[in-house]
Structures are given as structure tokens and as C-alpha cells.
Structure 1
Amino acid sequence: MNGIRRRVASVWRGDALRRARREGARLLPPPAPGNVWTGLSLHPHQAHSVFAPDLHRLRSELLEAVLAAISPIVPVLAPPEPRLPWRLMVRQQDAGAVLDALRALPPHWEVRPARDGRWIDLRPRFAVAGRELERTGDLELRVDLMHWTGEAHRGAALGAFRRIEATAWEETARQSLIGSHRRPGPPAPSMPIDVVYTWVDDRDQAWRARRDAALERTSAVGGPVARHPSATAEARFADSEELRYSLRSLHRYANWVRRIYLVTDGQLPTWLNGDPRIQLVDHRELLGGSRFNSHAIESALHRIPGLAEHYLYLNDDVFFGRIAHPGDYFAAEGVARFFPSDLPIDPGPATSFDPPLMAAAKNGRELLAGRFGIDVRTRIRHTVHPQLRSVAAQIEEENSEEIARTRAAPFRSPQDISVASSLHHWYAHALGRSVPSTPNYLYLDLAAPHAPQALDALGSLRRYDTFCLNTEERALDPSRRAGLRRFLETYFPDPAPWETAPAEPA
């Protein structure tokens, strides 16, 4: 039945039509150098082929291409805004020359003048592995043709340059094109933002031996250990190379981050090429030894040497699905965003019958009630976690006993606190250091019956800014795991710069 539903949904989404268009493109004449045909319609179009695209770099390059095309005409650049096109203003007397110059751009540029002659929209097309890159306002540009009378002019599109005197156009244009005004804030990329991943490879036999030995030690002390079965379930540690693809998503959609820290238990991904931008941090450095408890690991992330004040914490099953900006995660310098869920925290104190996530949420709720007198009733969404290092350090300083107990637990326990993925957000909010926001994201339990169909839709529609592909308690069967790998390879096909090139066949 699920197979039939997936085929019906595929037809409804138009997957077959997309494939037919890609096949039909082979019948068209050769495209311009560096371009590919990406579809068939009444008006076939070309896209510029890119490899391992960094969308923020593409955004900057398209602005530079337009500025070069219309030179020596001097435009005014409006302050950029995330997810909206660049906006340039030129004087009306330059309109004809500007339009002629833009129409001479390569054929993957779509040039669309407004009917009333007030602006020109530019939409460059890009393709990755023959598939057109998703359309986004970040990769578009609008040229406003300002009616110029020789007197002072006002225009809503001017933003910070709302009023330009006739004699000041050249100076205003020069100031607007200074590099600092080209950043899609806030905050500016000059504010360092790092990324921290936690990762484990369950196929590593040395790691499995350490885990099994830790299980024996904890079970031998004082009889059976009171913990939820999911604390040691195989699904907790299973690796399907999600980290590789999460890092690819980071490179494509959020490559403004400064440095990437990978926290591991003496492990190294075989495909990592030693790129200095990625730094490995061992459990022994942060925790004094191995931990098989994500809550314990999270409690020490702020201790990473050299870590920026502003950083993003991600599990390897979280992915960027569309272009992201610093302002999506930090409302301003020193103010993080957080993403409350609508899922409730169960009433009552934590017990060994609670799943570890619920127990940690309950413990955090009690701590927050005692410290701030607030009543937290919902959980936090499993997505990107913006963090402030100073807040995490304050949590440890003010709750040293609870943090030490969590950090010492080799496996998840009913006494844990989830610092980075839950407590930090509410604590920062109580301190006036974070604000709640609503993300455009998807959470998918890969073990759920509808998961294969949901993956199909996710790959076809690509409408989420971030998504999490998780399984908490049940290990995936081989067919589901293979389906996940196919999906990830299709969604993120290009290796990031830090990946080792695959060996050539003998």
C-alpha cells in the first residue's frame, strides 16, 4: 500500500514530468559554454552549471556581474535584506543603456523589464548535476529606474539612502557600494559564528569495545541501573554518514560560518581531508574520557578552546535545506534565537520510566522554576540550536552540581539535564539573551510508516529551511537505511571542499 501511495504522490508532485523535461533537454541544440538545459516548455531555458555551490558566494558574484555589466553607469545599492533580491537604483536617463547592457548578459540570465518601465528584474539560473538550483530571492536582483528631475528624490527602495540630493548621487552611490553595505544582515558576518557538531561512528570496533566496557562497569555497580532502554539502544548510535551530507548542506547554504568543530570520541571520518577549517575535539579534552550520553557531551561544548561567543550546535541528522543567514539564528549581537515546540513536557518529576529526552526536559523545568520562577511547559524543536558561550558558562557556574552530575553520566540517565538543546534556550530567554522564533523546518522519524513517502516529497518540493531526519529508539532496517542514503545523495550530490576525493577505479 505504501508503494502505491508513493507512486501516486510522485505523479501528483510532477516528478515524472520533471524527468521527462530533463530527458527532452537532450534534444535541444548545445547550450552556451558552462551552461546546461534544465527543462522543456514553450520557452526552454539554460542554467549555468555549478559544482559544490556556496549560495552566499553566488549571491555576491551575481551582484558583481551586474555591476560589471552596467559599468560605467553608477548605481545606488540599497541595504540588502535576507531572502529578498539585491536592489540597485539607476537614474531614468540611464535606463536604456542599462537595459541594453543587461540583455547582453549570458543566456542563463532572465531579464524581465516591468510593463510600466519602473524596474528590471534579473533572475540567473544555476544547475547542480543537471538539476536546476531552487529559486530564491537571495539569487535575484532588481534594478529600479528612478525618475530623476534634478531635484531631491525620495523612494521607499532606497532604505538607508532614502533621500538623495541631485548633486549627491555620485557620493551616495560610492558609499552604498562599500563592501560592508553588501552584507545581508543582521548580524554582519564580521561577528564570528562557529558551528559545533557531535558525531559517533557505531561501526568502529574500538569505540564499541569502549561502550560495552562502560555498560559492564555501570551495571556492576550497585546492581541493575535504573535507566530507560532507549539510553543504550543501537539506534542512539547508528551512523548512515549523515554528517557528510549535513556538512555539505552547511557549505551550500550557510558558508558564512567561521570554523567548524567536530566533537568525537577518538574517531575521524574516513572522508575528511584535514581541511583546517574543521577542527576535531576529543571527548577526553572536554570530559576526561569517553561518553555515550549526548546530554553529557552537550554540557561541555562551551569549553571548546577558541570557540566563538556565538555558535550553532547541530546533531549530524540536522540539515540546511535552503539558504540561511546569520540573522535566522541571532537576532542581534549577544541575542540568540530559539525555537519552542508545541509538544508539551509531561507533568511530574523525572523517573526512570521517562524517555531520556522527557526526563531531561523535566529536570530543566525544575531548575528554571527554582532559578527564575518561570513555568516552562513545552519542549524545543530538534533543529539548529543557536548558542551563546557566555550563557552556557553562566549555566555551569550557577548550577555546578547538576551540570557535574550530567557530565559524569556515561549513558543517558533520569538525572540528566539537556543543556545545549533545551536548557540554554530557556535560560537565555529568562536572562533577556534570546528571543523565541518560528522556524520553517521539518522533523521526520525515519522509522515511521510514512517516512519513505515523506522523503520523496522533501526531495521534490524542497520547501524547508532546515530538516531533521531522526530515529530515536528503533534502528532502521537495511532498506530504509539505503533509502536514506539515496535521498541524501540526491539532495546534496556535490562533495564539500573538506571531503577527500574518491579513489580512482583500478
Structure 2
Amino acid sequence: MSGPVDIVYLWVDGADAAWRARHRAAYDAWAAKHPGQLALHGNVAGRYRDNGELRYNLRALERFFPEHGHVYLVTDRQVPGWLRASHRLTVIDHRQLMPACTLPVFDSAHIESYLHHIPGLAERFLYLNDDVFLGQRFDIDHWFGGGLRVYLEEAVVDLPAQLRPDVAAPVNCAVLARDWLAARDPGYRHEPRLHAHAPRPMLVSAMQALEQQAPALFAQVRSTVFRSWRAPALLPDLAPRWMVAQGLARSEVLDPLHIASGDQDAAMRLAQLRAQFGTLPFFCINDTCDDADGDDPRLARVAATLQQLLPQPSRFEDDLSVLLESAA
């Protein structure tokens, strides 16, 4: 299969006053109607905080995958202040992608279920959370040749018998995938590992087929406004396992570098990143500072590391913002 590999990001700035007003009103209404349904860590500040990750993610993209296709940035009436207009990047507002009656939406699982409906999106695309970065030269044949490449973590996980409100979202995603796939195929054998925080190679045609086969699951996740443990995301786990079962993808076990910014070992892992940068297929810097203030030193440490590793601006950055950054 040939053709371009497009790039898709979701992005939000949780410090924006207008967005915060929409968020607060929507959460008050949703929580009143859905008591006890919020997923673990489903509405903490870290889920919506912009710590500059997207800017550095685009820098990594240009450094390690300069021949990428079109970039699509999916947002809710927001655009990064530093973003430069480019014929290679399109901002997709939620209102262009999802039915007006469902908006506003603050659950990434709901939003990402529509990504394959982005107008003009290439058949092959790479879905990147802005905290998952390319860390070495991107090999298209490795990721898309002979089946898509998806990654599982090394640790074996004993999944609960059913969805639970007190487990991490990736666990519930795996439970949903296990149950749905096993119900459709008595011979299905579930790999007892979670999918890594990794770049996600996708095919538009595959996602269209999955949506046709699992309309109830897509309707369920699209009924959410905030992340609900009752409606796990489909792209992180079900989609890759289904593609493997269909012969469209192959899985590989890998223990990638995952940095949780709020953990005690974050400084050590950032040092590891600096030492190994350029040799890592990918890495994740997950914001686990939850409800910390924006000037928290743990966040500043992450931003400083990214600036050290990726100082070269991308074509998507406005000249003035680059000058201001340099002056700071």
C-alpha cells in the first residue's frame, strides 16, 4: 500500500477562559445526570492542560518524519497562539466533525471515534496524542508495511471480569475489547497485556469497517460528554486487537519509555530520555500532576527537557512566537 501517511492530533488548552466556562457548565449538568459514572482520573486538570507538548511534538515530527502527509489538528473552538498557517496543516473544529446535538464534548474517547470521518484524510494515518512523541527516524515500512505495527507493554495484566469504576481507563478498554471479540469469535485468545502509549497507525477503511461491525459500541462511546468507565475508548485497545484478528495488523511486545510527570522517578526518567533520545522508536510524557498549578516545577522540568531536546522550531510555528520563546 502506498500513498501519504497523514497525522492526526487532538489538542486542548484547559487554561482558556471560554473553554473553562463551557467545561464547568457541561460537567455540572453531566455529573448531575450520571452520578458515579466518571472514570478514574477522568476530569483532572492534567487531562486538559497544555504544557507545550504539541509544539514539541510537531518539532519531533519534522525531525524524525519530515515526509509526513497532511497534519490535522482537532480542537474545540481553540487554536494554539503560536500556530502558523500552513498548507500542510488543517485545524478541524469539533463542530465540523461531530453532530451539533452532541456538543460540547470533553471525552477524548468520544472525539477520537470520529477521526476516520475527517474530510480528505488519507487512507493511512498516524494518530498521535500530543504526549506521545517520535523518538527516532520514522520508518513507514516498519509501521505500515505488511500490516500495521501495534505495540503491547511487557507486563502481563490480570483483567477483571467486567468493567469497573476503580481501575485505570486502559484496563477497562482491554476488558471491553476482550468481551466483544470473544463474543464474536469463540476461538479468540486475548493477549493479557495492555497496549502501550504509542503512535497509532490506522487505516480509514479499517475504522469504517469496525464502525459497521460494532455500531452499538460506537453509539455508546459517542453518548458520553466526559470520560465514563461504562463507555471505554475504542481506539486504544479494541481497534488494534480487532485489526490483528483481521490480519490487518501485527502486535509486538515492547516496554517503551513512559514518563509520568507526577511520579517520584520522573527526574530519573527524563535523564534517561536525554541519554537515549534519537534511539527510541517513541516515548510518552504523561501529565500525571493532576490538579497541580500551571507553574508547578514538575511541569517546568518537562518543558525544559523538551526544549533542550527539540530546540529547532517547526514550519508550523509563528516567527513571533519563536522570537518570544528565545527571549525567555
TM-score (structure 2 length as normaliser): 0.90
The correspondence for 2:257, drawn from 442, 449, 467, is 442
In the TM superposition, structure 1's runs of 4+ consecutive aligned residues that sit over 4 Å from their partners are 503-506
Q: Does 1:227 align with 2:45?
A: no
Q: Which of 248, 252, 266 in structure 2 is aligned with 1:451?
A: 266
Indicate the RMSD between aligned Cα atoms, in angstroms: 2.0
Q: How does 1:6-25 map to 2 (within 5 A)?
A: none
Secondary structure at the aligned position of 1:480 is classed as helix
Distance (whole Å) between structure 2 residues aligned to residue 438 and residue 497 of structure 1: 34
Partner of 2:184: helix, strand, or coil?
helix
Q: Which moved more, 1:210-219 or 1:488-497?
A: 210-219
SS at match of 2:138: coil
> Which of 296, 304, 308 is the matching residue for 1:486?
304
User: What amino acid does structure 2 have at the position aligned with 1:372?
Assistant: D
1:465 is matched with which residue? 281
Alpha-carbon shift at residue 471 of structure 1 (Å): 2.8
After the TM superposition, which of the residue ranges 212-221 and 426-435 deviates more from structure 2? 212-221
Letter of the 2:250 counterpart = V
The CA distance in 2 between the partners of 1:471 and 1:500, in whole Å, is 26
- Aligned AA (1:378): R
Aligned residues of 2:39 and 2:169 also touching (Cα < 8 A): yes
Distance in 2 (CA, whole Å) between partners of 1:345 and 1:292 is 30
Counterpart check, 1:313 vs 2:131: no
Q: Which residue of 1 aligns with 2:248?
A: 433
Q: Deviations over 1:272-331 (max 9, x none)?
A: 111121111111222222211111112111111111111111100011121111022112
Correspondence for 1:400 among 202, 215, 222: 215
Letter in 2 for 1:324: F
- CA distance in 2 between partners of 1:337 and 1:468 (Å): 17
- The alpha carbon displacement at 1:345 in A equals 5.2
**Inter-CA distance 293–425: structure 2 relative to 1 (3 Å threshold):** same
- Report 1 or 2 for greater relative contact order, CA contacts < 8 Å, sequence distance ≥ 6: 2
- Mapping of residues 90-489 of structure 1, within 5 Å: 191-221=3-33, 224-288=35-99, 289-332=103-146, 335-343=147-155, 344=157, 346-373=159-186, 374-376=188-190, 377-438=192-253, 441-462=256-277, 463-472=279-288, 474-476=290-292, 478-489=296-307
Three-state SS of the structure 2 residue aligned to 1:489 is helix
Give 1:194 deviation, angstroms. 0.6
Measured after TM superposition, the shift of residue 341 of structure 1 is: 1.9
Give how far 1:475 is off. Answer: 4.2
Identify the residue that residue 50 of structure 1 maps to in structure 2.
Answer: none
Instruction: Give the structure with the higher percent strand.
Output: 1
**Aligned counterpart, 1:22:** none
CA contact (8 A) 2:46 2:288 kept: yes
Mapped partners of 2:158, 2:77: distance in 1: 35
Residue deviations 1:389-417, cap 9 Å, x none?
A: 11111111111111111012011112223
CA deviations 1:225-283 (Å, max 9, x no partner) are 43234111112111101000001000010112111111111110111111121111111
Unaligned regions of 5+ residues in structure 2, if any? none
| Distance change (3 Å), C-alpha of 1:249 and 1:238 | same
3-state SS, counterpart of residue 299 of structure 2: helix
Separation in structure 2 between the aligned mates of residue 450 and residue 408 of structure 1, nearest angstrom: 38
**5+ residue gaps, structure 1:** 1-186
Quick one: structure 1 residues 235 and 198, their matched pair in 2 at CA, closer, same or farther if it must change by over 3 Å? same
Number of residue equivalences = 315
Deviation at 1:212, TM superposition (A): 0.9
Inter-CA distance 473–396: structure 2 relative to 1 (3 Å threshold):
farther
Q: Is the 8 A contact 1:245 1:488 kept in 2?
A: yes
Q: Which amino acid aligns with 1:346?
A: L
Contact 2:261 2:286 survives alignment (8 Å) = yes
> Does the 8 Å CA contact 1:295/1:419 hold for their aligned counterparts?
yes
On the 8 A contact 2:177/2:241 being kept in 1, the answer is no
Matched letter for residue 342 of structure 1: E
1:60-83: CA deviations, max 9, x gaps?
Answer: xxxxxxxxxxxxxxxxxxxxxxxx
Task: Determine the C-alpha separation between the residues in 2 that align with 1:345 and 1:263.
Answer: 34
Shift of 1:438: 4.5
The CA deviation at 1:476 is 5.0
Cα distance change on mapping 1:345 and 1:280 into 2, 3 Å? farther
- What amino acid does structure 2 have at the position aligned with 1:227? L
| Code of the aligned partner of 1:273 | R
- Write the distance in 2 (CA, Å) between the matches of 1:196 and 1:251: 14
Sequence identity, in percent?
A: 32
The residue type equivalent to 1:399 in the other structure is A
Distance in 2 (CA, whole Å) between partners of 1:308 and 1:368 is: 27
Q: Amino acid of the residue matched to residue 251 of structure 1?
A: E
Once the 2 structures are TM-superposed, how far is the Cα of residue 456 of structure 1 from its aligned partner? 1.9
Q: Which amino acid aligns with 2:46?
A: A
Q: CA shift at 1:502, angstroms?
A: 2.4
SS in 1 for 2:237: helix
Larger radius of gyration: 1
Structure 2 vs 1, CA of residues 331 and 437 (structure 1 numbering), >3 Å: closer, same or farther?
farther
1:491 to partner: Cα distance: 0.4
Instruction: Supply the distance in 2 between the matched residues of 1:219 and 1:380 (Cα, whole angstroms).
Output: 29
Does the CA-based 8 Å contact 2:261-2:289 persist in structure 1? no
C-alpha distance in 2 between matches for 1:476 and 1:444: 17
Q: Classify the secondary structure of the residue corresponding to 1:443.
A: strand
In the TM superposition, residue 460 of structure 1 has moved relative to its aligned partner by 2.9
